[in-house]
A and B are shown apart, each in its own frame.
Chain A
Amino acid sequence: MKSYETPIERRRAALANKQGMTSNRRISRKTRDNIIGYLFISPWIIGFLGLTLGPLLFSLFASFTDYNITSKMNFIGFDNFKRMFTIDDLFKTSLWNTLFYVIFSVPLTTAGAIFLSVLLNQKVKGMKFFRTLYYLPAILSGVAVYFLWMQLLSPSTGLVNTFLAWFGIEGPAWLFDPEWTKPALLLMKMWSVGGGMLLYLASLQGVSNSLYEAADLDGADVIQKFFHITLPMISPIIFFDVLTSTIGSFQIFQEAYVMTENGSGGPGNSLLFYNLHMWNNAFEVFDMGYASAMAWLLFIVVMILTIINMKIGKKWVYYEGGDNK
């Protein structure tokens, strides 16, 4: 900004500004808004360039090298990517484990959350209490919760198998049996399904009652109303939830790290998820080039899935107020 020599000049400039005139001394409102706008968002821009875009490009570059944090970066072409699919058997295991988890956890949590939100949207006594209670597990996370589930899933004295025994079912060894480790994590995930429930509940409360009344007049039953009114009306949230929980499930890491003794991968490597394998490569053996290649492959897979999701979403997501785009 310019400094003014005399008080008169300053006053004149102020007056011009007040009248909305654009003098050549003062910058226009438009320019000022541009500058201020960018100033306000500058923390995000720095973060985006330094912590997202920069790292993305760096890891793309590193994925074609044998970088190990101390070495120089030697260009090795597609060797890292070839290694994943030829030499590294654990890579395939980790990919399979992750896909298994995603394929089961996304539909289970989505259906669970919708079911729960429909129940919690009824007019029943103590509803506020129920909502709070079902949401509670969603805010509990981290190491303490994983320890709790290791205790609950303990084969002989754990709560889960004790409960199953009441019904004459002999519970599996859960975290000690390669066949049951992933279902164990799914069970734990289902416990906190209340987090997603809240999203759906907000959306359900926005569904106009007149739709249901009209359906009643036409003699529709509960199931028909659910599939023809409720589901379409909350489909934007379903879409959003499926999208974000797919991305989230691909990144499963902490539970596997904690529940398998510092990321060893569990019995028969059955809990060696993609990110755990990437983590071990990056920070146990410092094979940063290979880990970067894994990261980029994950990025590409998730991007493709997101695009597919959005394309399919256009077909089944219903946006109120027409303009179905």
Chain B
Amino acid sequence: MRTAAAPKFYETKKFKDRLKQMLVFIVLLAGSVLVISPLWWMISTSLKSPAEIAQYPPTFVPKEIHFSNYVKAWQTAPFTRWAMNTFFIAFCGMVGSVIVNSLVAYAFAKIRFKGRSFLFMVVLSTMLIPGFVTMVPQYILFSKLGWVNTYLPLIVPAFLGSAFFIFLLRQFMMTIPNELIEAAVLDGANHIQIWWHIMLPLTKPALIAVAIFSFNGAWNDLLGPLLYLNDESLYTLQIGLQTFKGTVQTQWHYLMAMSVMVLLPVVLLFFFFQKHFIEGSNIASGTKG
């Protein structure tokens, strides 16, 4: 029953909320089209014939679908080799990142040693140093060690800890109660055992986030391979793709086909481990401030 003083339907809170939701929905929908269309364009271009790509006005859906673009492009350069190289580097780096950073983070979170808080400040401040500042001396160091044209400069640093991952894992470990560790110590466990049997299982979500971020980082890295790899047989996909462009020039159907192939593993990884991508970012942010 409505009384005379009741607000008109368009003045009620419920209606206003509905209207707001509609507006937000429409804006988000329009935005999604903008976000997704470049990817659609990439796939569509990769399936077109060269003649159709050059056509004006351009078509959104290929008139004829040329899957053979993928096969031909893949065969033009040693992509199989490059893909295996990239996977190898990314996998080694991932293993190193997970093991080493969790060990370091465990010490910063749960072991009381002298100078701990000072050293943790040092860890944090290294995140503020631009990577390019240390690039030239690092190159000189690795070349004096004879590591140029090997995978060592791309893999070994992953085994020496990364400030961001240490920070992320340490924040996560801080949330695990000390009593658990003290109880384990009373049972005679040492820190390696505690790390392996208690910490690693309990920090699994954060470890998966580190694994994904590190794999992704290595997969997408151009700078490292560009600096350290000279032989084409050692190339990774990123630098291979860059070289491939020199070969096929402006044959965009081939370039887009290979770009799709290079991005595909990352996209699949994202859809399988979506939750962990998001969790990883949340751990990093939730603690700041």
A-B interaction: yes
Question: Which residues in A have some Cβ–Cβ distance to B below 8 Å?
Answer: 30, 33-34, 36-38, 40-41, 43-44, 46-48, 50-52, 54-56, 58-59, 62, 69, 116, 119-120, 122-126, 130-137, 139-145, 147-149, 151-152, 156-159, 162, 165, 191, 194, 198-200, 202-203, 206, 235-237, 239-240, 243-244, 247, 250-251, 253-254, 257-258, 262, 275, 278, 282-283, 288, 291-292, 295-296, 298-299, 302-303, 306, 317, 319-320
Q: Are B113 and A33 in contact (CB under 8 A)?
A: yes
Q: Are B222 and A142 in contact (CB under 8 A)?
A: yes
Q: Are A124 and B103 in contact (CB under 8 A)?
A: no
Q: How many Å lie between the Cα of A157 and that of B289 in the bound state?
A: 47
Q: Are B133 and A59 in contact (CB under 8 A)?
A: yes
Q: How many Å lie between the Cα of A123 and that of B21 in the bound state?
A: 7
Of A41, A122, A240, the residue contacting B119 (CB under 8 A) is: A41
Mask of B208-248 contacts with A, CB within 8 angstroms, 1/0: 00000000100111110011000000000011011001000
Which B residue sits closest to A199, measured CB to CB? B285
Mask of B251-269 contacts with A, CB within 8 angstroms, 1/0: 0100110111011001100
Residues on B with beta carbons closer than 8 Å to the beta carbon of A130: 28, 32
Given contacts A44-B104, A139-B216, A144-B262, contact A253 B141 (CB under 8 A): no
Say yes or no: is B67 at the interface (Cβ < 8 Å to chain A): no
Interface size class of B (residues with CB under 8 A): 35 or more
Residues on A with beta carbons closer than 8 Å to the beta carbon of B128: 243, 247, 302-303, 306
Say yes or no: is B84 at the interface (Cβ < 8 Å to chain A): no
New A-B contacts (14) at CB < 8 Å, excluding given A148-B259, A236-B289, A237-B285: A41-B103, A43-B161, A119-B31, A124-B25, A125-B25, A139-B266, A143-B239, A144-B260, A151-B252, A157-B53, A236-B288, A254-B223, A295-B135, A306-B128
Query: Which residues of B (37-82) have their CB < 8 Å from a CB of A?
Result: 37-39, 41-42, 45, 53-58
Residues on A with beta carbons closer than 8 Å to the beta carbon of B37: 159
Residues on B with beta carbons closer than 8 Å to the beta carbon of A206: 286
Q: How many Å lie between the Cα of A46 and that of B37 in the bound state?
A: 46
Given contacts A43-B159, A122-B20, A299-B133, contact A143 B113 (CB under 8 A): no
Q: Are B28 and A124 in contact (CB under 8 A)?
A: yes
Given contacts A251-B131, A302-B130, contact A157 B123 (CB under 8 A): no
Nearest CB of A to B155, in Å = 13
Residues on B with beta carbons closer than 8 Å to the beta carbon of A296: 133
Q: Are A47 and B157 in contact (CB under 8 A)?
A: yes
Q: Are B56 and A156 in contact (CB under 8 A)?
A: yes
Q: Are A34 and B113 in contact (CB under 8 A)?
A: yes
Residues on A with beta carbons closer than 8 Å to the beta carbon of B130: 247, 250-251, 298-299, 302
Mask of B90-117 contacts with A, CB within 8 angstroms, 1/0: 0000000000100110111001111010
Say yes or no: is B166 at the interface (Cβ < 8 Å to chain A): yes
Q: Are A202 and B285 in contact (CB under 8 A)?
A: yes
Nearest CB of A to B194, in Å = 11
Of B53, B104, B223, B289, the residue contacting A253 (CB under 8 A) is: B223
Say yes or no: is B152 at the interface (Cβ < 8 Å to chain A): no
Of B106, B134, B263, the residue contacting A144 (CB under 8 A) is: B263
Q: Are A47 and B161 in contact (CB under 8 A)?
A: yes
Residues on A with beta carbons closer than 8 Å to the beta carbon of B201: none
Q: Are A51 and B35 in contact (CB under 8 A)?
A: no
Residues on B with beta carbons closer than 8 Å to the beta carbon of A34: 113-114
Q: Are B136 and A122 in contact (CB under 8 A)?
A: no
Of A37, A136, A162, most buried by chain B (CB within 10 Å of CB) is A37
Given contacts A43-B104, A50-B141, A139-B270, contact A159 B38 (CB under 8 A): yes
Given contacts A54-B137, A140-B263, A144-B259, contact A37 B111 (CB under 8 A): yes
Nearest CB of A to B38, in Å = 6
Residues on B with beta carbons closer than 8 Å to the beta carbon of A141: 220
| 29 residue pairs bridging A and B, Cβ less than 8 Å apart | A36-B107, A36-B113, A37-B113, A40-B104, A41-B108, A47-B157, A47-B160, A51-B157, A56-B133, A58-B137, A122-B20, A136-B35, A142-B221, A142-B222, A143-B222, A143-B262, A147-B255, A148-B41, A151-B41, A151-B45, A159-B41, A162-B58, A200-B285, A202-B285, A258-B242, A282-B135, A282-B139, A292-B137, A302-B130
Q: Are B35 and A133 in contact (CB under 8 A)?
A: yes
Residues on A with beta carbons closer than 8 Å to the beta carbon of B221: 142
Q: Are B277 and A139 in contact (CB under 8 A)?
A: yes
Residues on B with beta carbons closer than 8 Å to the beta carbon of A317: 289
Which B residue sits closest to A132, measured CB to CB? B274
Which B residue sits closest to A38, measured CB to CB? B113
Nearest CB of B to A147, in Å = 5
Given contacts A50-B160, A257-B222, A258-B242, contact A36 B111 (CB under 8 A): yes
Question: Lowest 6 CB-CB distances: which A-B pairs, in order?
Answer: A236-B289, A37-B113, A47-B160, A55-B137, A40-B107, A144-B259
Say yes or no: is B140 at the interface (Cβ < 8 Å to chain A): yes
Q: Are A319 and B259 in contact (CB under 8 A)?
A: no
Say yes or no: is B178 at the interface (Cβ < 8 Å to chain A): no
Of A122, A145, A152, the residue contacting B21 (CB under 8 A) is: A122
Residues on B with beta carbons closer than 8 Å to the beta carbon of A235: 289
Of A41, A134, A247, A306, most buried by chain B (CB within 10 Å of CB) is A41
Q: Are A258 and B222 in contact (CB under 8 A)?
A: yes
Q: How many Å lie between the Cα of A151 and that of B43 in the bound state?
A: 12
